[in-house]
Amino acid sequence: MIENLADYITDHPNREIIGLEAKLSNGGRQELTDRATLLKNRFERKLAKNQMSLAEQHVYVQLLSTISCIWHSKIKPLIDLGTSKNTIDQVIFDDLIEPVHKAVVRYDTLATSELVSGMLYFLTGKCHLVWEPTC
């Protein structure tokens, strides 16, 4: 496994590991838990299935990195400002899910927007993304 991918598929080293459900709950987004868990699990299965392919590993590193960068530069600041859930959800779709999906579908025509959502929730579960406001 390439080192950069290992960084994303392991728990964040400097944060308490509490899992996806608790992360969403702490951010006041309990309503996302069932769907988020389903999509995260789908992505985890796909990742495990393709983990040995070097080409797939490189693709996943790029996708997970892009999701993380977009989250930290566009989504998290909105959460910190107390922006409405509807606005945050729209920005997540417009600025994260849709562009990442457009990029990955060129490589994998079977990739869906739900797969990208699964990556987002996967990173959340590994504590790379925080849904609660910070002071």
- Identify whether 132 is part of a domain: no
The dihedral over CA atoms of 38, 42, 45, 47, expressed in degrees to the nearest 10, equals -130
- Identify whether 10 is part of a domain: yes
- Please give the distance of CA 71 from its chain centroid, rounded to a whole number: 8
Cα–Cα distance measured from residue 18 to residue 86, given in angstroms and rounded to the nearest whole number: 25
Cα–Cα distance measured from residue 8 to residue 122, given in angstroms and rounded to the nearest whole number: 9
Q: What is the CA radius of gyration of the chain?
A: 14
Q: What is the pTM of this model?
A: 0.90
- Name the nearest CA neighbour of 22 among 131, 99, 134: 131
Domain that holds residue 104: 3-125
How many domains does the chain divide into?
Answer: 1
What amino acid occupies position 80?
D
- Identify whether 135 is part of a domain: no
pLDDT tens digits along 27-75: 999 999 999 999 999 999 988 886 667 888 888 889 999 999 999 999 9
pLDDT tens digits along 77-97: 999 999 999 999 999 999 999
- Identify whether 131 is part of a domain: no
- Identify whether 35 is part of a domain: yes
Inter-CA distances, 62 with 8, 37, 73, 132, 135, Å: 11, 22, 16, 25, 30
- Identify whether 80 is part of a domain: yes
